[in-house]
Amino acid sequence: MISPNTQKDLIRACTMETTNAILHELGDEFLAILLDESHDVSVKEQMAVALRFVNSEGCVVEHFLGIVHVSDTSASSLKTAIQFLFLKHNLSLSKGRVQGYDGASNMRGEFNGLKTLIMQENSSAYYVHCFAHQLQLALVAVAKKKPQLAAFFNSVTIIATLVGVSCKRRDLLREKQQNRVLEAFEIGEFSMGKGSNQEISLQRGGDTCWGSHYRLLISLVVMFSSVMEVFQIIEKDCSTVEQRGEAFSLLNVMPTFEFVFILHLMKTILRIMNELSLALQMKDQDIVNAMVLIEVAKQRLQEMRDEG
């Protein structure tokens, strides 16, 4: 069982059984083709293929079908790779009714060409860009358009990086925060309760996952004073001149009214957007309800703007 060859055989057997179960569940139903790409550790371009369909119980399900290595990322090569994978599993592109690709990837142009090629073969396979992902792209565009927001999120990224660069600093931040929580308990500022005062950390946010930015801002609000203490130690004791300089700069930026105001403002805005994003990703979501949810989120933002 510990032999590499034996382990590979077991993995292949599990893959075959899982794939057969997926194909059996799919049957002769129509399907949506979902694609994404990324580089693996060997810097090879890999294309992941998943299927979405309605099963016999009337439930929308998504299943991962396989990964295809593509040496050439032209639209024709991508289509050939998909056809190869489909033929391998006795599937046909004619059953496709939806195409879904990552509109923000570095292969956006190739995917645009791919969807055209597939629609030339099957005019019913319409391209639909994920609503939640469109929302993320809109947030990225707004954040980059306003210099104040761009500067703020750049500072927040540096904060998370500077604290999270080593286990020692993460432990130091955790220790500072634990001491503050204990002090608050002693003077009655915090109360005990399920889910209250759980251990948190600062993790960098990603442009295509603004829920991670929301979690980062929540953590920063909670641990603001502890983060400042850690930066004071870094400024004084760090052996790296660049990091001492970053700590010094952040110690001057973080206490300013503008930084604190934007921190709380964006936390509130991203909470609304995060709730909308999670709702848009629900399996049983429909287009009518999605538009209602978007309208509600717009109204909440407008109320913030009008009433402050």
Longest dimension (CA), the chain: 71
114-119 CB contacts, 8 Å cutoff, 24+ apart: 114/35, 114/75, 114/78, 114/79, 116/75, 117/75, 117/76, 117/79, 118/33, 118/79, 118/82, 118/93
- Separation between Cα atoms, residue 156 and residue 206, nearest integer Å: 12
Residue 204: pLDDT band (50, 70, 90) is low
pTM above 0.75, yes or no: no
Residues 275 and 219 both lie in one domain: yes
Among candidate residues 70, 69, 58, 68, the one with its CA nearest the CA of residue 25? 58
Residues 151 and 63 both lie in one domain: no
Say how many domains are in the chain.
2
Helix (H, G, I), strand (E, B) or coil at 216: helix
For strands 45-54 and 60-69, give the pairing.
antiparallel
Residue 109: pLDDT band (50, 70, 90) is low
Handedness of CA 20, 24, 28, 29 (dihedral sign): negative
- Separation between Cα atoms, residue 37 and residue 96, nearest integer Å: 20
pLDDT at 159: 93
Among candidate residues 159, 148, 162, the one with its CA nearest the CA of residue 259? 148
E-assigned strand segments in 25-59? 31-39, 45-54
Residues 175 and 229 both lie in one domain: yes
Residues 33 and 182 both lie in one domain: no
Vertex 128: Cα angle to 68 and 51 (nearest 5): 40
Residues 123 and 103 both lie in one domain: yes
Residues 116 and 163 both lie in one domain: no
Residue 102: pLDDT band (50, 70, 90) is low
pLDDT at 211: 66
Structure tokens at 228: 């400042």
Instruction: Please determine, for residue 276, whether its predicted confidence score (pLDDT) is greater than 80.
Output: yes
pLDDT at 238: 86
pLDDT at 213: 82
Mean pLDDT for 232-259 is 93
Residues 105 and 139 both lie in one domain: no
Residues 211 and 260 both lie in one domain: yes
CATH code at position 91: 3.30.420
- Of 60, 95, 129, which one is at a domain's C-terminal end? 129
**Is the CB of residue 81 less than 8 Å from the CB of residue 68?**
yes
pLDDT at 267: 92
Residue 106: pLDDT band (50, 70, 90) is very low
Share of the chain above pLDDT 90, in %: 35
Instruction: Please determine, for residue 185, whether its predicted confidence score (pLDDT) is greater than 70.
Output: yes
Structure tokens at 19: 């794939």
Residue 194: pLDDT band (50, 70, 90) is very low
- Of 70, 95, 129, which one is at a domain's C-terminal end? 129
Mean pLDDT for 53-67 is 90
Residues 37 and 155 both lie in one domain: no
Lowest-confidence pick of 70-79, 116-125, 188-197, 253-262: 188-197
Residues 125 and 154 both lie in one domain: no
- Separation between Cα atoms, residue 24 and residue 18, nearest integer Å: 10
For 150, 166, 268, 271, 279, the CA distances from 301, given in Å and listed in that order, are 20, 38, 10, 11, 17
Residue 206: pLDDT band (50, 70, 90) is low
Mean pLDDT for 77-98 is 90
- Of 114, 129, 144, which one is at a domain's C-terminal end? 129
**Strand order through the sheet with 60-69:** 60-69, 45-54, 31-39, 96-100, 126-127
Residues 79 and 227 both lie in one domain: no
Vertex 26: Cα angle to 21 and 32 (nearest 5): 125
- Separation between Cα atoms, residue 248 and residue 151, nearest integer Å: 16
Instruction: Give the range of the structural domain holding residue 56, as residue numbers without chain letter.
Output: 4-129
Structure tokens at 72: 């050439």
Residues 59 and 158 both lie in one domain: no
Instruction: Please determine, for residue 3, whether its predicted confidence score (pLDDT) is greater than 60.
Output: yes
pLDDT at 210: 57
- Separation between Cα atoms, residue 203 and residue 197, nearest integer Å: 18
- Separation between Cα atoms, residue 20 and residue 91, nearest integer Å: 12
What is the residue whose two structure tokens read 């994978």? 85
pLDDT at 75: 81
Lowest-confidence pick of 37-46, 113-122, 269-278: 37-46
**Is the CB of residue 70 less than 8 Å from the CB of residue 47?**
yes
pLDDT at 32: 92
